[in-house]
Amino acid sequence: MQKSKKSKSLPTNEQDAPRVSETGDQDQAVKIRVTDKRFWVQDGEGAPARESSASLKPTYVEELEKMRAEAEKKVEQVLASYRDFRDKAEAENRQARERIRNEYEKRLQQARGETVEKFIDIFENFERALMHARKSPDREGFLKGVELIHTQFGGILAQLGLEEVARVGESYDPELAEAVAVTEVSEQEKDNLILEVVRKGYRLNGKLVRPARVRVGQVRDGGESGSPQTYQ
């Protein structure tokens, strides 16, 4: 029995395959979907799993390394802050020292000016006294002028805080004076007293600036006086 219709055979080569029309107006391109069934490329699911499985480090080691990296980063930040603070502190210290030095120099110059100003009048009075002495033979007037200048000069020094120490009749104090000679005396009340000031001593604002040089009395056994003893 013969078949009425012949079955259509599938195309076996490129010539039998359906073709896409070049004009594109009547036929549409045939879309072919190809699925790669290899296990390591299927939708990218196999690769991460193999990468994680390939890691030989335990999880806690990775966490420790991460913590160490964060700690090192914080240490670097702290060191950077410290260096910045140190540089700023050094710059501020230099500026402060410069300001203090400038202020000190300014005040020192001001103090010198005020001190010199106090002695200008005395200097001019000396000049006037000398001019008067050259023009007039009046020695009495010249002497009075010098005495006034001396008084004025002493007043200025007293204003500056200068005072005389170790005067005649006071008890000898080795902290204020140097005994350049010792004279034996018969009176008991003159024992260890300053009999003569060879060179005056001064104290400025409570601080000794120059010790005095004096001659001191000393009572000799028996009450007899003798020649003074002088020593260096």
Domain check: are 112 and 135 in the same one? yes
pLDDT tens digit string along 15-68? 444 454 444 444 455 556 666 566 555 555 544 545 544 456 678 788 888 888
Phi-psi region of 161 (alpha: psi -120 to 50; beta: other; left: phi over 0): left
- Answer yes or no: do 43 and 141 share one domain: yes
Single residue among 160, 181, 200 that ends a domain in this structure: 160
Domain for residue 1, yes or no? no
Question: What is the domain extent for residue 216?
Answer: 163-230
- In the predicted model, is pLDDT for residue 137 greater than 60? yes
Phi, psi of 205 (to 5 degrees): 55, 45
For 196-203, what is the mean pLDDT? Answer: 94
Mean pLDDT of 187-211: 93
Same-domain pairing of 144 and 178: no
Are 50 and 138 found together in one domain? yes
> Per-residue b/e over 86-100, b at no fewer than 16 CB within 10 Å?
eeeeeeeeeeeeeee
Give the model's pLDDT for residue 41: 54
171 and 75 housed in the same domain = no
Q: Domain boundary at 114, 131, 160, which?
A: 160
What CATH number does residue 121 fall under?
3.90.20
Residue 129 falls inside a structural domain = yes
Give 78-104 pLDDT, tens digit per residue.
999 999 999 999 999 999 999 999 999
Please state, in angstroms and as integers, the Cα–Cα distance from residue 171 to each residue in 166, 197, 208, 210, following that order: 8, 12, 17, 18
Segment among 19-33, 129-143, 144-158, 192-206 with least mean pLDDT? 19-33
